[in-house]
Structure 1
Amino acid sequence: MSPVLTDVAPDDRRMTAHVRPLIRALRPALTEEDFDRFASEAHAQGLVFTAAYDGRGRCAAVATHRVLATSRGRILFVDDLVTHPDHRATGMATALMTHLAERARAAGCHRVELDSGTANVTAHRFYHARGMTIAALHFTLSAPGD
């Protein structure tokens, strides 16, 4: 059965019940309060939270994404993509990636882009299997006083 994909807004009860736990599993340093602040602020900046539900109504995966105008062209950037452990290798993340590619085309984007931690080899295999390539390295610098 195909997943049901739906966008979830910060004020939707599914944000705290379904989306927040999955994003926090991916980003364990994020407290519930930090997540709530992040979700509200990022949503106002254009971040979309898309949840994939299985045939029994369980949230199986979540992607956060936004359309960005960059000097490299218009892109759909995926901030987070996480699948519940019970739903890995069931096609949920693939369905989300297909959906994101379709959204990118509809929004006039040239590409779907995302960052992935260097140690997350399982995710890298997943992305490569779906035709994604490594196009850049992502560098960070802490702000003074941080």
Structure 2
Amino acid sequence: MSYVLTDVVPGDWRMTAHVRPLIRVLRPALTEEEFDRFVPEAHAQGLVFTAAHDVHGHCAAVATHRVLATSRGRILFVDDLVTRPDRRSAGIATALITHLTERARSSGCHRVELDSGTTNVTAHRFYHARRMTIAALHFTLPVADEV
């Protein structure tokens, strides 16, 4: 099956109908209201929401990404990459990675980078199979007061 890759912008009905449910599969703690507040702010910071739709208009996968200038060079950073559970292993995420790699090239980037949760072994196998390597560990330090 072929897929059409489309950038979805804030205000487009597909953001809430297609993108939000898929992002919430990846990030279940993110409420609908939090997602709706996050979208315009993140988009203003350069986040792009790319959705993969099948020939029937059903959204099968989403990638969120942005181009960043870093001290390591210009990169395309993938914030989120999620495929509907019933559509996994159909080549959709591979098509998205290929698309993002081409976008990175055309944007003058040196690399595509992403973070993946340490327990997401299935995703790690997928990334390794696409010649992605583990280049760093991502550390976090909460700064908000505990309630």
Shift of 1:114: 0.1
Matched residue, 1:21: 21
1:13-70 deviation digits (Å, cap 9, x = unpaired): 0000000000011101101010011111000100000000112211000000000000
How many Å separate the matches in 2 of 1:104 and 1:73?
12
Shift of 1:102: 0.2
Q: Tell me the secondary structure at the aligned position of residue 103 of structure 2.
A: helix
Matched residue, 2:67: 67
* Correspondence 1:57 to 2:53: no
Total equivalences in the alignment: 146
Q: Tell me the secondary structure at the aligned position of residue 109 of structure 2.
A: coil
The percentage of aligned residue pairs carrying the same residue is: 81
Shift of 1:144: 4.6
Structure 2-normalised TM-score?
A: 0.97
Q: 1:135 to 1:2 in 2, by over 3 A?
A: same
Matched residue, 1:81: 81
How many Å separate the matches in 2 of 1:53 and 1:126?
21
Matched residue, 1:145: 145
Q: Cα RMSD between the aligned structures?
A: 0.8
Q: Gapped runs of 5+ residues in structure 2?
A: none
How many Å separate the matches in 2 of 1:31 and 1:144?
19
How many Å separate the matches in 2 of 1:53 and 1:129?
24
Aligned structure 1 segments of 4 or more residues deviating by more than 2 angstroms = none
Matched residue, 1:120: 120
How many Å separate the matches in 1 of 2:41 and 2:59?
23
Shift of 1:2: 2.2
Q: 1:135 to 1:55 in 2, by over 3 A?
A: same
